[in-house]
Structure 1
Amino acid sequence: MRVRILLVLILLMMPVLSGCWSRIEVNDLAFVTAAGIDKMEDGKIRLALQVAIPRMLGAAGQGGFGGEKGIGTKAVWVVSEKGETILDAYRRLQEKLPRRIFFSHSGIIIIGEQLARDGVSPILDFFIRQREARMRSYILFTKGEAVKILKFVPKLEKVPSEIMREEVKQHIGLRINLKDFAHMLVTDGVEPVAAEMELVSSNLTNAEDSKGLSPSNLETNLSLKGSAIFKKDKLIGWMNDMETRGILWLRKEMKMGVVTVNIPKENGKISVLILNAETQITPIFKDGELSMEVKVRAENELYENNSKLDVGDPKVIHLVENALEADLIQRIQLVLDMAQNKFKSDIFGFGIAVERRYPKEWKNKFKEQWEEEFPNLKVNIKADVTVNRTGLTNKPLILKEKETEK
């Protein structure tokens, strides 16, 4: 009897344990490495996908497939289609491809300016609902069309999205993923901000240098050039790379960087590398008035001295530290003025800091009118900068040369 019951249970369980009944073979998938979205003149949405070409991928310098794997050979295929919505464009794209579109390997979402200015919420809704989409995908914006960024052919990597991802990872600009951006959209007390990606010249500095060269002869590369500033879900403006450094300080995201200051009396410059950075933001509510205290601290290593200063002298180091502090305060004040006066957008999350420190006051007084409070918010900036290392030498080479002559 027990044997019969066991046999019946096994028979009943066999359909459940029948293996990967819903599996999809790798050869049936089109792996998306990056997605670009633009709004066209007719109002339709263009979805562009950067799809990996499996036979072109492999170790650098590896041969095979008739020598197809060479320098400059495209390892991705950019396909695009228009639609009334993202899903509509997605369906039309799927009709073009012999393989099923697979988003799980996509690490980049880049959005064109026109679409961003009209509002990104409807677009991001698709990626947030899409089960295959990665919430850790970096979100980027560009002043032109997103599809042009996807079509860039890299020199050092096979896949263009790897260039974008490595640029973001180096902490030279903002690192905002889909999850971060969506959180800023739905959170009171902070407005969205993200990195700007652009195609730039690799070695030309101005228009004069490029005269006589055809567009095909101009070397270009992808670069983080600044930040896209939002009010709610709409793009309202841009900040350049220098101003973005101020954003990083105020968002407590400064990790590394180089600061160069002028030494007027010595007619020279000194450059330092940031080794450690810290930002402390403290809301102060006193006598019915709200203000913000921002304290920034940085430890630096002196990497270059083009002045005549002898950095072996403690007094000289103190002078350099004062110059660095003044420069840092000026940079932060610059971006703060732009956010308060030009954009009137709290991209730093000051409102969140107020809510955490004064939850009752935030709920009763500031939450509903934060858009009016933020532009008038008084912010006191303090900087503490130290130079802990000066390299393998103290005196600049120009002084050593004069000592040798004597």
Structure 2
Amino acid sequence: MTLIFLICSFMLFLSGCWDRVEINDLALVVATGLDKTDDDKIELSVQIVNPKAHKGGQGAGGGQGGTKPTIVKKVTGQTIFDARSKLQEKVPRRLFWGHNQVIIIGEKMAEEGIQKHIDFFARHPSPRLRAYTFVTEGKAIDTLKIIPDLESSSAEVAGELANFKVGLSVTVKDLLQMLSGEARAAALPWIEVEQDPSNKGGLRVNGTAIFKKDKMVGRIDDKVTRGVLWLRDEIALAAVTVEPKGAEDQISFNLLRSSTELIPKIENGNWKMIVKIVTEDDVVENETKLNLGNPKIVKRLERQLEQDIDKRIRLTLEQVQKEMEADIFGFAETFHRQYPDQWSKVKDQWDDKFPEIEVEIKSKAYIRRPGQSTTPQGVPEKEVKG
């Protein structure tokens, strides 16, 4: 009986959440900005949910009396953790990083190298590896300070853009895998601030920052980024507009689905990558007089779509493979898997080998639906072609 009594007594002391922290004691970090100062220090900026704007059940973006839904704090340190510790001294609540949605890297830091700084987000248990990562022109803190029209914070806008896959979508985990991969090259979406005269602003993903051995070596625009997405089999949203040969005006297509397969070949010492693309599209707008119910016209348009894809990819290869010499397409891993012995002989010279790889593009496009109408609308029947 004595033993049972002692066990029950100990259970009373073990119950309860002794180390819990109330939500009212936390400062929720939803976005992080990383910049490099002129004296080679880290400028850490954070976007924190403003509790005053959410009292009394106020909805997102509402606030009370015009109170901003988020506040931005910044501090300088020798490392990210050093800056984080100094930041905690200025915030009367415990900083909580579990809700951090995005990490924005300033252009200066991107050019000087990011790997040693990203190490913090991989090593420390608090930040999320699923946080989306961007590069921005100028300083990251300027992006965090933007007050958007539709969402409650710039962090929410950036996260939604990444989820929507309007361009590359890269998490911290993805970035770490790219930097430690065979090619040691990476690509991050480029995010820009769009400010209007009323001091309201928005964010736009416009192109891609290209990294080689953790340093940004250049930037490609939105058009070339589409080719990157095709090659990486990450294309999700695409609007393609073509002007059919022999016809006036244009036809717009919406991408339904697409798949890309990389097939490496090594024959007689020649390294070659075959890129097989299959895409399916819908017609969403027809400004021409072409009858899209005619199979011959549809076939011609499919060939033209294939040519458009080939052109986009060739443009991407010219800039990224030939000029920047950065393997962000996964060619290195693909050759390594298929030809491990040959790969071991060139892996240390891959930067020199990659620009010489011959790329053959085999694309196949299918138009699945011509829309709710096959014939052009508002065009007299006698003027319809085909």
TM-score by structure 1 length? 0.89
Cα distance, 1:48 vs structure 2: 0.5
Q: Is the 8 A contact 1:190 1:349 kept in 2?
A: no
Residue 170 (structure 2) aligns with: 176
Residue 232 (structure 1) aligns with: 213
For the residue of structure 2 that corresponds to 1:148, the secondary structure is helix
Residue 6 (structure 2) aligns with: 8
Q: Is the 8 A contact 1:279 1:296 kept in 2?
A: yes
Q: Is the 8 A contact 2:149 2:201 kept in 1?
A: no
Deviations 1:210-268 (A, max 9, x none): xxxxx633653201101110001111111111111111111111122111112242121
Distance 1:39 1:22 in 2: 36
The partner residue of 2:364 within 384, 390, 402 is 384
Does residue 21 (structure 1) correspond to residue 21 (structure 2)? The answer is: no
Distance 2:128 2:378 in 1: 54
Residue 270 (structure 2) aligns with: 289
Gaps of 5+ in 2: none
Deviations 1:267-312 (A, max 9, x none): 2111100001000100011122211000111000001111221111
Question: CA 1:400–1:176 in structure 2 vs 1: closer, same or farther (change >3 Å)?
Answer: same
Q: Is the 8 A contact 1:191 1:349 kept in 2?
A: no
Distance 1:77 1:187 in 2: 37
Alignment of 1:167-316 (within 5 A): 167-189=161-183, 191-200=185-194, 216-217=197-198, 220-316=201-297
Q: Is the 8 A contact 2:184 2:213 kept in 1?
A: no
For the residue of structure 2 that corresponds to 1:268, the secondary structure is coil
Residue 134 (structure 2) aligns with: 140
Distance 1:84 1:401 in 2: 73
Distance 2:45 2:94 in 1: 15
Alignment of 1:76-95 (within 5 A): 76-95=70-89
Question: CA 1:59–1:389 in structure 2 vs 1: closer, same or farther (change >3 Å)?
Answer: farther
Distance 1:266 1:74 in 2: 53
Residue 206 (structure 1) aligns with: none
Deviations 1:294-343 (A, max 9, x none): 01110000011112211111111111111111000000111011111111
Distance 2:152 2:233 in 1: 34
Greater displacement, 107-116 / 262-271: 262-271
Deviations 1:179-201 (A, max 9, x none): 01001111113511111110125
Cα distance, 1:361 vs structure 2: 2.0
Q: Is the 8 A contact 2:165 2:236 kept in 1?
A: yes
Distance 1:62 1:269 in 2: 40
Cα distance, 1:142 vs structure 2: 0.6
Q: Percent identity?
A: 38
The amino acid that maps onto 2:205 is L
Q: Is the 8 A contact 1:190 1:348 kept in 2?
A: no
Cα distance, 1:401 vs structure 2: 7.3
For the residue of structure 1 that corresponds to 2:250, the secondary structure is strand
For the residue of structure 1 that corresponds to 2:83, the secondary structure is helix
User: How many equivalent pairs are there?
Assistant: 382
Q: Is the 8 A contact 1:173 1:224 kept in 2?
A: yes
Question: CA 1:107–1:338 in structure 2 vs 1: closer, same or farther (change >3 Å)?
Answer: same
Q: Is the 8 A contact 1:191 1:345 kept in 2?
A: yes
The partner residue of 1:349 within 323, 330, 337 is 330
Question: CA 1:62–1:296 in structure 2 vs 1: closer, same or farther (change >3 Å)?
Answer: closer
